[in-house]
Amino acid sequence: MVDSKERDSEDSFFDKFKRFKINNVPEKKSSETIDQALLNQLAYNEKIQIAITSIIASASLTVSKFIIAIYTNSLGLLSEGMHSGLDVLAALMTLYAIRISRKPPDPEHNYGYAKFESLTSLGAVLLLFIVAGWIFYEGLERIFFKQVVPEITVFSFGILIVSIVVDYGRSRALYKVAGKYGSQAIEADALHFRVDMLTSFVVLVGLAIVYFLGIPNADAYSAITVAGLIVYTSLGLGRRTLDVLLDKAPKGIQGQIHESITGFEGIKKAHSIRVRKVGKDTFVDLHIEVPRIFTHDKAHRIATSVEYKIKNEILPNSDVVVHVDAVEDYLTETIKDKIRLISEDFPSIKNVHSIYLSNIVVNETSDRSKNNETGENSLQLLHLYLDVQMDDKLSFKIAHGVVDDFEKKIKEEVQNIKRITTHIETDLDIESSVGREEMADQTFLERIKKMALSIEGVSDCDEISLVYVKNELHITLTIKINPLSIKSQDRSSDSIPSSSSNPDDSLSVEKAHDISTQVQNLLLENTNAARVIVHAEPA
C-alpha cells in the first residue's frame, strides 16, 4: 500500500503548480468571467509546463553534445552542441516572454503585452543567425585552411540518435501548444527543436561518411549544411514575427470583411478597415457610413450587427470597433429631413415642426439666358413655412437672430427654397404641456358627432374628448370609415392593387386621411378649438 505522503511525493511539480494556480484564480463577478479566467490560467500553466520541459531537454542534450564533441574533435557535433545551447537560451527567453505576455492591459499598454512573445521570437531568430554564421565560418576554415580529423566513437552516433528522438517529441509538443494558443515564442522554441532534429540527422550522415568512407571534410560539410538549414528555417519564422510586430493584416481579410458587410441594410459604404494581431488576439476597427437621418439607436444596432458578424463568422473571438459616420443620402433624404438636421446645429432651437412647402413659379432673366432665344428661364422655387420652438428664457432679439441664421443656412443647403416664414414659439416642457380633460355639455358633443357624420364615408363617431392645454381647447375623437358609403367613383380613384374582394381593402390610406382632414377642418371652422385630432378606424 502507498500512503498519502508517498502519493503526494509522486505528484509532479507541474501538477502541484497547476492546482495552486487554479485555486488562486481571482474571484470574478460573473460565471462567464470566472470561466474565462480559468481558461486563461490553464493556458498559462500549459505554456509554462512545456517551456520548462524544453529547458530540461535542451540542457541535457547540450551537455552531452559538448562533452562528446570535445572528446571527438567533431565540428559537426560542436555545432550541434552550440545549437542545443542556443535552444536552452531560447527556451529561457520563451519562459520569460510567457510570464510577461500574460500581464493585463494597462494605461500605458492598452493592447497588453502579448507582442513581447514576438519580440522574444525575433531575438531567438537573430541568435540562430549568429550561430549559423559562426558554424559556416568554422566549416570553411576546416575545408580550406586547416585539416582536422574527428575521432568517431559509438557515443558520437548514440547522442545524435537520442537527440533526434528527443527533438522530434519536443517539437511536436511545442508546435501543438503554439498553435493552440497562438504563441510565437513557443513556435520559435518548436522551430529550434525541429531544426535540431534535422541538423542532428545531417551531422549523423556526415560522421557516418567520415567513419565508413574515410572523408575527413564530410564533418565540416555537414556543419555548413547545418548552418544553411538554420538560416533557411529561421527566415520563415522571422518573416512571420516581423509581420506581427509591423501589424500586417492577414492576407485578404480586409476584402473579406468589406464584402461581408456591404450588403447590410442601411450601410452605404465601409472604409478604413484595419486589422492587427497581438499574440493570439485579433483587433479590428472600421468605419461604416449610414444615412444621417437614422436615429442613434438604429445606427448603433447596425454597428452591433456588423461587430457580431465579424466576431462570429470571419474572425472568431476578435475585438471589433465599429465607427459610424453619418452621411447625406441623396436618394432617401427629403427636404424636411434636411431642415430638421440643420436645426440640430443650433442649440437654442429645441424643435421644429409643422413643416410645409409650397411651389412658387417665376420667370427670371439672368446672364445664363443669353444662350436662350427668349431670354426667359422658368424656375420652380419653394416657399417654406414652419414652427420653431425656442428656449423661452431667450430674449426675442437673440431668438430672432438665431432664426435668421437658421433660415440663411437652410437657403444655402436647399437652394430651391426662396422664401421662408418662421413662427417662433416657446419650448413646452412636459408639465406645462399636460392638459386637463373636462366633461363637455352633451349638446356640444352631439353637435361634434353630427358634423363628423356629415362627411361622406364616416359611419360612426365616438370617444370624443375635450382637453384644455394652456386655456386652449383641443378636441380628440374617433371616426369609423365605411368604404361602402363612399361614392363608387371616389373609391375607384384609389388604385390599390388587391387580390381580395373585400371592399375594406379597396380604401387607401390617402383616402382615409383625406376624410379625417375634412372632419378636422370642419370642426376647426365651427368650434373654438385650437386643435383637432381625428383618429380613423375601419368600420
Question: Would you call 491 exposed, middle or buried from its count of C-beta atoms within 10 A (0-12, 13-18, 19+)?
Answer: middle
- Scan for cell 565508413, then name that residue: 212
pLDDT of residue 522: 94
Rounded to 10 degrees, the C-alpha dihedral 394/395/401/405 comes to 10
pLDDT of residue 39: 59
pLDDT in tens, 411-427: 998 888 988 999 888 86
Q: Report the distance separating Cα 399 and Cα 188, nearest Å.
A: 70
Q: Mean pLDDT, to the nearest integer, of 302-313?
A: 92
pTM over 0.85: no
Range with the poorest average pLDDT among 34-43, 324-333, 371-380, 521-530 = 371-380
pLDDT of residue 44: 67
Q: What does residue 58 show for φ and ψ, rounded to 5 degrees?
A: -65, -40
Strands 436-438 and 458-469: antiparallel
Whether the pLDDT of residue 163 is over 90: the answer is: no
> Residues 160-189, buried b or exposed e (16+ Cβ, 10 A)?
beebbebbeebbebbbebbeebbbbbbbbb
Average pLDDT of the chain, as a whole number: 78
pLDDT of residue 363: 55
Whether the pLDDT of residue 373 is over 50: the answer is: no
pLDDT band at 13 (very low <50, low <70, confident <90, very high): very low
pLDDT of residue 520: 93
Strands 472-481 and 531-538: parallel
Domains and CATH numbers, the chain: 11-245 (1.20.1510.10), 253-327 (3.30.70.1350), 346-427 (3.30.70.1350), 435-538 (3.30.70.1350)
pLDDT in tens, 481-530: 988 777 655 554 444 444 444 555 567 888 888 999 999 999 999 998 98
CB distance 319 to 303 below 8 Å: no
CB distance 84 to 210 below 8 Å: no
Q: How far is CA 253 from CA 142, 275, 283, in A?
A: 50, 8, 12
Strands 349-364 and 377-390: antiparallel
Whether the pLDDT of residue 85 is over 80: the answer is: no
Q: Report the distance separating Cα 114 and Cα 101, nearest Å.
A: 4
pLDDT of residue 448: 93
Task: Return the percentage of the chain with pLDDT > 90, whole number.
Answer: 19
Q: Mean pLDDT, to the nearest integer, of 343-347?
A: 91
